[in-house]
Structure 1
Amino acid sequence: MAAALTIENIRRVPKVLLHDHLDGGLRAGTVVELADAVGYADLPTRDPEELAGWFLGAAHSGSLVRYLETFGHTVAVMQTRESLVRVAREAAEDLAADGVVYAEIRFAPELHTERGMDLDTVVQAVLEGFALGPSSITVRCLLTAMRHAARSQEIAELAVRYRDDGVVGFDIAGAEKGFPPTRHLDAFDYVRQQNAHVTIHAGEAFGLPSIWEALQFCGADRLGHGVRIVDDISFTDGVPQLGRLAAWVRDQRVPLEMCPTSNVHTGAAPSLAEHPIGLLRDLRFRVTVNTDNRLMSGCSMSSEMAALVDTFGWGWEDLRWLTINAMKSAFVHFDRRLRIIDEIVKPGYEAVMSSA
């Protein structure tokens, strides 16, 4: 007899996280302490509980642009080597405490150089922090370039340079509309020529053209969010009909890094009940569940899974399927992926599925 699908039991099972932003997952108390340490005086409040509520309220605006504005505060306190080490270590600790056994955490090195650090120092500090985390979690990182900036080639070269030290891929992020991924083709070409991995924020605030360009021009291995792929699915007498792009994404098993709570907050989905993850799971797309920004959206992997259970009536089999999807889609080497699936994920789910 399976254990009850409570958030406490969900926290017990092993989870895999592919889409989590370092500057979106700080502890509110850490933001306050780091702000005091560096003399940053622009926080809306210095009470950690109130600050957490402010971030959640500001993020829940229905606008991706407004959502992204909240990062001004977290990035401002992540401008020293010591702060980056601390934030990275705490991220690993918090995820491990939530039962995450493998995580790929992304950040944009170019955003952390305002106080004189160079890009290499930024990456080295974050990797050091991850290494100080608990042994129960494997943490790797993705280096993100900003869509509106012109440093993507530098960041791509940085990702390749640290590929043997914990960096497993390259990403671009930021406002989609007006900043297509094709502006950064040189960087994507370089990464692929170096046999490295690419994930791209696409299909969150902009539609099918963003997804198409990310896949067919930029060679993305995974889609960050990919929510708008649902726009290429129609219904005839209640039967779903996949358009050519949606069919290609499913046929090629392109992983979708979906972040349900965040997608509602940014307006990418009208509500959790109307989030396309339910339909896409039923149609057997390569769906994964992620947090995106734990501070801004007030969420964890366990709360995301619990919300999906409540909304769609999913069971342990569904959660296991999603977790294995994520581990299969990770950018770490195949032998590590297989070992985590066979030795950690499957036994972990078997334990809760066979105990009252």
Structure 2
Amino acid sequence: MVGVPAPLTIENIRDAPKVLLHDHLDGGLRPATVVELADAIDYRSLPTRDPDELAGWFLGAAHSGSLERYLETFGHTVAVMQTAEALRRVATECAEDLAADGVVYAEVRFAPELHVERDLDLDQVVETVLEGFRTGAERAAAAGRPIRIGCLLTAMRHAARSREIAELAVRYRDVGVVGFDIAGAEKGYPPTRHLDAFEYVRQQNAHVTIHAGEAFGLPSIWEAIQWCGADRLGHGVRIVDDIAVGSDKTAKLGRLAAYVRDTRIPLEMCPTSNVHTGAAPSLADHPIGLLAKLRFRVTVNTDNRLMSGCSMTSEMAALAETFGYGWVDLGWFTVNAMKSAFIGFDERLALINEVIKPAYAALQA
């Protein structure tokens, strides 16, 4: 007898296993934590000290249609993440919050160079964040919500410390760091400015993901892949500029789009954030619909949970409502992400076969 699929409720989506590849540590703080950390260091620049009002302020400021304006909101979160205590707490809460949202594997990124304004050096910053992730994962497991967290170290596009951060990523790759990234405003700061960092990471057989094709177009994507050797594309929404859709709805892929699809380069898509930064006009018009239909290696991500007021559950639910997706589709996004993770093959396969596929099969029954 064929069973009835579970309804696509928020509760069921939250309970389903999810995989997150693109989430910023300094973009996911609890509003109350921001206030308490600000009080601890006498940081007086917050627009409000009420957690609910602060959450609304972040969302309103981020929903500007400008990536540059969106990035300005990080001035407050980074400012309160300058001590070991603060970094450890934020990382611990991050792991707990993601696990409570049903995330079974996450890669959380942050830029160590942004957290050395007080007495910490780069190594201490990384070690403290990794300690926080371990503590959060242990608490989540004790609560019956196991999660595995890998850390991505990000260098800032406009700065000149990318080689140093790349070496840091390689140095800590056996204790929790799984890859290297660059982030920041794309326009005027092409990834090729950091070729020595990318060459070093590849020579060390380590992994690279690059923010590309979010606020800037195809040249950013092309450079990230062909010059810098990106294993994944952070966002990558502008790959749609290389796809022509005819009046009969058939799609013709340009050479770059065809290369990205043919070689299965994962796209770390962040729908709500992309709408907020102006990378997509609306969720209904987000390229994820077309790219998923064309079977690109699409993954679903949060980007910045505080700034965009989102979670993996809300992202999946919004996509299901907007595009009519069901459990098969949500499971496909999840397997795509797990296949694309920067951990070892055996570990990825175990999570796919022992956790993800059985759970979605049960939901479809």
TM-score range, shorter chain: over 0.9
Q: SS of 2:88's equivalent?
A: helix
CA–CA distance in 1 between the matches of 2:119 and 2:242? 46
CA–CA distance in 2 between the matches of 1:33 and 1:303? 26
Equivalent residue runs for 1:166-181 within 5 Å: 166-181=176-191
CA–CA distance in 1 between the matches of 2:131 and 2:247? 55
Equivalent residue runs for 1:128-139 within 5 Å: 128-133=131-136, 134-135=140-141, 136-139=146-149
* Residues 1:300 and 2:320 aligned together: no
What is the match of residue 119 of structure 1? Answer: 122
CA–CA distance in 1 between the matches of 2:326 and 2:295? 16
Aligned length: 354
Q: SS of 1:296's equivalent?
A: coil
What is the match of residue 343 of structure 1? Answer: 354
What is the match of residue 184 of structure 1? Answer: 194
1:113-135 C-alpha deviation (Å, 9 max, x unpaired)? 00021000000000000000123
Q: Which of 311, 319, 330 is equivalent to 2:341? A: 330
Equivalent residue runs for 1:194-233 within 5 Å: 194-233=204-243
Output the TM-score relative to the length of structure 1. 0.99
Q: SS of 1:210's equivalent?
A: helix
CA–CA distance in 2 between the matches of 1:322 and 1:102? 13
Q: SS of 1:294's equivalent?
A: coil
What is the match of residue 326 of structure 2? Answer: 315
Aligned-residue offset at 1:282 = 0.3
CA–CA distance in 2 between the matches of 1:21 and 1:166? 16
CA–CA distance in 2 between the matches of 1:233 and 1:346? 31
1:3-57 C-alpha deviation (Å, 9 max, x unpaired)? 1011111001000000000000000000000000011000000000000000000
* Residues 1:39 and 2:50 aligned together: no
Equivalent residue runs for 1:89-108 within 5 Å: 89-108=92-111
CA–CA distance in 1 between the matches of 2:63 and 2:173? 35
Q: Which of 297, 301, 318 is equivalent to 1:290? A: 301
Alignment gaps of 5+ in structure 2:
none
Q: Which of 250, 274, 286 is equivalent to 2:261? A: 250
Q: SS of 1:141's equivalent?
A: strand
Alignment gaps of 5+ in structure 1:
none
Output the TM-score relative to the length of structure 2. 0.96
Equivalent residue runs for 1:19-58 within 5 Å: 19-58=22-61
Q: Supply the RMSD in Å over aligned alpha carbons.
A: 0.5
CA–CA distance in 2 between the matches of 1:235 and 1:194? 41
